[in-house]
Structure 1
Amino acid sequence: MRSLQPKQCWLPCAFFLWVGAADAEDSAELAKKALNPVAAMYSLPVQYNWDQKMGITGEGMHSVTNIQPVLPFELNDEWNLISRTILPVIDQHGQAPDGLADKTGTGDVTQSFFFSPKHPTHSGWILGAGPALLIPTGSDRLLSSRQWGLGPTGVALKQSNGWTRGILANHIWSLSGEQPNAQKVNQTFLQPFLSYTTHTYTTFGVNTESTYNWQTREWSVPVNLTVTQLLRLGGHPLTIQLGPRYWADSPEDGAHGWGFRAAITFLFPR
């Protein structure tokens, strides 16, 4: 008698193969969106940075935990508005002999809005541009510019064959007059980035987060090398990131040598 087992197994086997392919496709899309600053996806990155050899003594340390919620809004059939907020929580010690610079608290918020077309250009570039706002939310005068600031921001990136490359930039000027003992804000931020994502959704990346202070004419240039892994915990997607950072250039009392970065990003696909 001919066995019916192959026919009986066909439907459930096909179902599980289809589900596996769908999960792989979803994960591949999530991995790409996680690298796109203007992706139409809710996310909550929490990023920790540690740096050393700072301050007058050269023995100071500085850690910043950036809480960076990303909120997309659909404007119409062609455009999205992407809100990106950076709230830094700062801990610094040993930057002055008297210990008066030892502070822990919140820094100033940088709030950016990107108007971004829903579809890439014909050549595959994803674009976004809008205003960036500096909000003086610092909990201490040493952790804050104590000034409102405003300027333009923009991003351009391309994703293909596992590669993501692009640049994010902004420039912020002071809106209010100079506060007593506070330096006017006039700075440019440049973040070119390059990464490659493997078939296991592991991403190897390099970027710089360079800031040029037009008042002091000084650069701050940390170079970040990162490894990021897309995971699912209890069915919920997230990424975990680790890597060293090296200060290629810095003001005299700024960070020097090596530091490191660790981050976790909670993803909320629609």
Structure 2
Amino acid sequence: MHLRLKLLLLTTILALNIAASATPIHFTEAEGYRNGSIGDHRDWWALHGTTEFQVDAKNGHVNFGSGNAFAIYTGESVNFDSNDRVTYIDLQFSQTEERVTRQTIFAALAYLRDHSYGSIDTAVMGLGRSTRRNGYRFVGFGDISDHIAGADLGITGDGDNSDIIRVLYLLSKGDTAENWTANYIITNLNTNSVVASGTREMLNVGPKAQADSSIFGAMNLGKQLNGIDDLQIISYGSHYVSIPEVRSLTAITLAFSLITTMSLRRGRKQT
């Protein structure tokens, strides 16, 4: 399938919330979570910091601290032999400064080969600040940086809470370590709109990742939280998804027409 059609179809499927083959994690008491470091919970490993990811089980989210750290979901390892792999986070934050002096990345996703610092080469992607007024950006794969207006995230000035934003990462195995494909989609779930999306072809993951089936999805907290406060992860999901072959735009167009008539009915989370 043409990569653009594949990305468009995936966007449609996920916007309609019908792609998940596993239940998303909402970090609630009902799921067995408790207050404290996410690394103290089964199926999670906190790397380079135990205080950066703090579970608030009563309210059902994870608070980000400061520093550069990974929270690795070890409940299911990734095998790319036959399917694409989707990992995503739903997040919300508040803006404290309309303009920052340097570009940053503050919430990201990655795939790691093990519980050590083994991130697949150039495969970290996520959301950060740009130096424009109320400016944000997608950044990832070592060479992509796309501007996102704050208004597209529900931000118009200092003190604003963002809408609930989904950052999604689709990784597809290539025939060699040098030709994997990554797609990214950033969606505003309150307005049900895609604010950024794209494809990185010929992604080089290295020979170990090509041969190793023990690859794990992970959340990554960036080093700089300039102009950002109260960053929360509301849910996390990581699962296989099989993208069917589509030979015309008809099915995709019809599916997108459904999106315009749907409401995800997700209110803004109060902080």
TM-score normalized by structure 1? Answer: 0.33
TM-score normalized by structure 2? Answer: 0.33
Does 1 or 2 have the higher relative contact order (CA < 8 Å, sep 6+)? 2
Query: Rg bigger for which structure?
Result: 1
Higher strand proportion: 1
